[in-house]
Amino acid sequence: MVDDCPFLKNCEHSLLFQGAEACLYILKDPNNILPNGQFLLKKRLLKQYRHAELDKKLTTKRITQEGRTLLKCQRLGIKVPIVYLTDLHERVILMEYLNDYQSLRCFLELQAYQDSDLKVLSLHVARLIAKMHDAGVIHGDLTTSNLLVKQIAENLPLPEAEVVMNGENHSEKFSIVPIDFGLSSGSDSSEDKAVDLYVLERAILTTHANMTSFFQSFLESYVAVSKFGGSTKTKLDEVRARGRKRDMLG
């Protein structure tokens, strides 16, 4: 039972999100040592319909893989939530709560941007995914719900003052953070990278029907900045064709 989790029993908390695989809780930092005074706790749910040993193995694998991938991303210089603790027995990961970010899905739905920023935003997302893929990190569930975004105030000092896209300079306006690496894996396969991009494309087209140009701009930038962009794009075309065939056959 989630209510039996000692982390929840011993800390003031509130439910942030409940999904099919896990619940996310915001925990108040009892020692008040964190900048925003809060943790994020991800509790993977017990699946009663699975054989107990199989459920334990799958949960252990996903928690372990998520923790490893987050640490690898940190070493690569990719901003992700800091992992403070993993507890396989309690099926939890305790990590940094990025309270000043929102999901890319909400960001696009709320139209919290200027139209002129969309192309720059797509570049920021492309640079992030290309960096992950070039290092052999496959997300496994790359949707707009699993990318967090924050607009950067123009008067703040930036690690990179400008980025270049299609020969034009653009200010660093957004910070993008990937989350939910429970289905992540390590692979240099163009097929795996292409499937990641296909999942993102389908998520954008089904959730944000008016954002076809956003994905096209993202893909152009990804091909330009990734070391293996060309081969991944070729494989993406093959994955798309298989997807269309499945849709026609039902």
Confidence of residue 154 (pLDDT cuts 50, 70, 90): low
Strand partners, 17: 24
Q: Is residue 42 classed as helix, strand or coil in its secondary structure?
A: strand
Give the whole-angstrom CA distance, residue 138 versus residue 179.
12
Q: Is the pLDDT assigned to residue 6 strictly greater than 90?
A: no
pTM here is 0.87
- Dist. CA 232–CA 217, nearest whole Å: 16
Tokens matching residue 31: 């020692």
Reply yes or no on domain 2-96 having CATH 3.30.420.40: no
State how far the Cα of 79 lies from the Cα of 204, in Å rounded to an integer.
Answer: 22
Contact 174, 152 (CB under 8 A): yes
Domain with CATH 1.10.510.10 in the chain: 102-249
- At 158, the pLDDT band (50, 70, 90 cuts) reads very low
Q: Does residue 155 have a pLDDT over 70?
A: no
- Cα separation, 128 vs 77, in Å, equals 10
Identify the CATH class of 102-249.
Answer: mainly alpha
Q: How many CA atoms lie within 13 A of 38 on its CB side?
A: 16
SS3 category, 138: strand
Catalytic positions are 141
The predicted pLDDT at position 159 comes to: 44
Cβ atoms of 173 and 211 within 8 Å: the answer is no
Answer yes or no: are the C-beta atoms of 226 and 130 closer than 8 Å: yes
Q: Can you give the pLDDT at residue 5?
A: 83
Chain centre distance of CA 41: 16
**CB proximity list for 191: less than 8 A, separation 6 or greater:** 235, 239
Range list for CATH 3.30.200.20 in the chain: 2-96
| 55 token code pair | 């459920």
